[in-house]
Structure 1
């Protein structure tokens, strides 16, 4: 079984931070977002991983992610010339996947649920596909699955009259049969090749699709608000010793856990926390900061921040 991570989206909702880098390379709890997907695949014993990116992002990913040697895996970069949807990204991976089965993840998603059930659905249960589903309160806003026993019998995008409250979370397992589907479907009204259409094609042509229901948190880090939410979530799940810190470089400062501060950063007369992540080589003086992300290299003085994301070039909301 192989792994596939789709990262070729434009990340427009995370602009201006995604102007100069892929959104999946932005840090969550001081670690590039894509690392969480890599670790999820590696935890399943997967050692061959494809990452679908835009051609212009090749050097950026090779610098930040590399070839996988640090994880003991082999990473292959695959290219999607235009962001034409997840199913199109899967199509670009066909030569890499070959006849193998694979786990598909979206690079901007954070999923704490084990994906072992999806893996077993393919390798043990001999299903042709498997999806991770999550219960939602507003199913009209999601792609929704209709289920019957352990099978998905239909998918509907943002239904007016939902047949369930089970939304597609963004983790999938497939056999190579999915390539028949991605070649057969047409673009949707928004001009993209939708993975839901490809799965519906499989269902309509007699292929069996299973599912697992998420019982642990998940989110897509697609907006500044969700980026902040993801940092709060990761701080809450980290061991206390990682989010409580007493470095000598924090002169006259009060640290209110949970926080995560890179040891290369310096604080003077600050009140930091809770729910603050501070990246490398940051200098703060006379600042009060809560529920915020301060990215690498930022220098701030005499300010109060809450619910903010600050980089060298940008701030949301502006300060």
Structure 2
């Protein structure tokens, strides 16, 4: 079995953070989303992993993977030049996948559970598609599955009137039969070849589609509030402060849980709960709660508590306390 991670999206809803930073490299608790996806595949002993990217992302993503140096895996980059949808990305990956079954992950999703149950269900039932489902609060924002007698009978992408709140959570197991489905569909109204349409193509031709249920929420990190939620839940699950040994701090209070990356300097600060601070940042006289601070950020003497905020890479903010 091979792995496939889709990372070519532009992340327009997260501008300006994603103008020069691929969405798949956005950090959650100081770990890029892409790295977390790779971890999930490697846990399944999958060591041949294709990564679908836009050519503009190549340098940053390759640098990020080279810097991590923690996987005994082989990566192959597959280029999607135009945003034509997930089913199009799958077809572009066909030469890499060949005749193998594969686990596909969306690179902007935070996978909060092991993929073991999903893989086991796929291997036991032997169907061409097995999906990870989970309940969501805003089903109109997702691909939604209609389930009847323990079978998926219909899928709909971002429906105006959802028939359930069981969303497809960005993790799939497919056999090569999916390539026929991806070639057999037309572009949607938004001009993309939807993976939900490809799976529906299978259903309409009599193929069985399996599913596993996620007990914990997976999060599509597509907006700033969801990004902050993913950061909060990840830190909450860790439950402790993760402070790199190189961090220098003086007269600071840390309210668990927080994550502070290497080379950061903190003075007269209260940090936490649910705060991650990227490498090489400098903070003095600040109080942060439920925030994501990217790399090389300088904050000094902020007059009030900063909450529910993402501070972009290289930001410089200075205030005067009253």
User: Shorter-chain TM-score: which interval?
Assistant: over 0.9
Residue of structure 2 in register with 1:116 after alignment:
116
Describe how 1:61-76 pairs up with structure 2 within 5 A.
Answer: 61-66=61-66, 70-76=70-76
TM-score (norm 1): 0.92
Deviation at 1:43, TM superposition (A): 1.0
2:294–2:312 contact (8 Å) kept in structure 1? yes
Residue of structure 2 in register with 1:274 after alignment:
273
Looking at structure 2, the residues matched to 40 and 232 of structure 1 have their Cα atoms a distance apart, in angstroms, of: 20
Residue of structure 1 in register with 2:311 after alignment:
310
Looking at structure 1, the residues matched to 160 and 310 of structure 2 have their Cα atoms a distance apart, in angstroms, of: 36
Q: Which deviates further from its counterpart, 218-227 or 61-70? A: 61-70
Residue of structure 2 in register with 1:256 after alignment:
255
Looking at structure 2, the residues matched to 300 and 267 of structure 1 have their Cα atoms a distance apart, in angstroms, of: 10
Residue of structure 1 in register with 2:296 after alignment:
297
Q: Residues 178-237 of structure 1, C-alpha deviation per residue, up to 9 Å, x if partnerless?
A: 000111111000000000000000111121110011111210111111111111111101
1:87–1:193 contact (8 Å) kept in structure 2? yes
Describe how 1:5-154 pairs up with structure 2 within 5 A.
Answer: 5-66=5-66, 70-154=70-154
Can you give the 5+ residue segments of structure 2 that lack an aligned partner in the other structure?
318-322
Deviation at 1:57, TM superposition (A): 1.7
2:239–2:257 contact (8 Å) kept in structure 1? no
Q: 1:221 to 1:314 in 2, by over 3 A?
A: farther
Looking at structure 2, the residues matched to 220 and 141 of structure 1 have their Cα atoms a distance apart, in angstroms, of: 10
Q: Which deviates further from its counterpart, 158-167 or 51-60? A: 158-167
Count, aligned residues: 315
Secondary structure at the counterpart of residue 121 of structure 2: helix
Looking at structure 1, the residues matched to 259 and 140 of structure 2 have their Cα atoms a distance apart, in angstroms, of: 37
Deviation at 1:150, TM superposition (A): 3.3
Looking at structure 2, the residues matched to 293 and 155 of structure 1 have their Cα atoms a distance apart, in angstroms, of: 35
TM-score (norm 2): 0.91
Residue of structure 1 in register with 2:286 after alignment:
287
Looking at structure 2, the residues matched to 154 and 315 of structure 1 have their Cα atoms a distance apart, in angstroms, of: 50
Secondary structure at the counterpart of residue 198 of structure 1: helix
1:140–1:162 contact (8 Å) kept in structure 2? yes
1:103–1:171 contact (8 Å) kept in structure 2? yes
